[in-house]
Amino acid sequence: MSNSGQTCSAWTRLLVPAEQYQEAVAIAVKAAAKYVPGDPADPATRLGPVVSAKQRERVRGYIEAAVREGARIAAGGAEAPEGLDAGFYVRPTVLADVTEQMTVAQEEIFGPVLSILAYRDEEHALEIANGTSYGLAGGVWAADNETAAAFARRMDTGQVDINGGRFNPLAPFGGYKGSGVGRELGRHGLEEFLQAKSLQF
């Protein structure tokens, strides 16, 4: 929801063990309710508009497509936020019953929309995590850092936060697959501006 979901590294999918799914949806709905849309100059506002009318319609279109494909709106929706008919606002939205083949699980929404998917076991979670053409940023939570890091190493993702780890501006930043080639920040970012030469004798 940060920056109205318009952050390249914003997570848009939440993968949850099937046995904890309903609990996770309820927690997400409660969290989304804290994101009050409105005028960014108003201290009560926690969610501003998206960048343009075109982007607003694009995000709303993703929500509508998700419903057509079988997802359930647990919070929010495609309608304008109450009292905000003017402006490029999108309601903070939580989509439940999302499956890995749905458009919202495969494409970048770039809006305040969270899709929640259930997984059966760790291998299924990895299949879902790696099952898109993107791989810029993600996060893994587990009982301990070692377990989470072992899973993160298997993800096709350029930067993975472990158990709530924060963004590190000294670490290399960049993605896998359709999320780009190359790295910014840290030593790896500087190396992008250098030209290597090999001399063979």
The DSSP code sequence of 151-192 is HHHTS--SEEEETTPPP-TTS-B--SGGG-SS-BSHHHHHHT
What's the pLDDT at 43? 93
d(CA 80, CA 56) in angstroms, rounded, equals 10
Q: Which of 47, 149, 67 is nearest to 115 (CA)?
A: 67
Residue appearing with tokens 């936060």: 161
What's the chain's length in residues? 201
H or E stretch including 128? Answer: helix 122-129
Which overall architecture, per CATH, does domain 1-132 show?
3-Layer(aba) Sandwich (3.40)
Q: Which residue has the tokens 């929500």?
A: 63
Give the pLDDT of the chain (201 residues) as one tens digit per residue.
999 999 999 999 999 999 999 999 999 999 999 999 999 999 999 999 999 999 999 999 999 999 999 999 999 999 999 999 889 999 999 999 999 999 999 999 999 999 999 999 999 999 999 999 999 999 999 999 999 999 999 999 999 999 999 888 888 888 888 887 777 887 777 887 777 766 676
Number of H helices, E strands in the chain: 6, 6
CATH 3.40.309.10 in the chain, residue ranges: 1-132
Instruction: Say if CB 138 and CB 129 are below 8 A apart.
Output: yes
Q: From the CB of residue 154, how many other CB atoms can be counted at a distance below 10 Å?
A: 13
C-alpha span between 144 and 44 (Å, rounded)? 37
Among 141, 189, 147, which residue's Cα sits nearest to residue 27?
Answer: 141
pLDDT at residue 189, as a whole number: 78
pTM for this entry: 0.89
Q: Both tokens of residue 28?
A: 């997400």
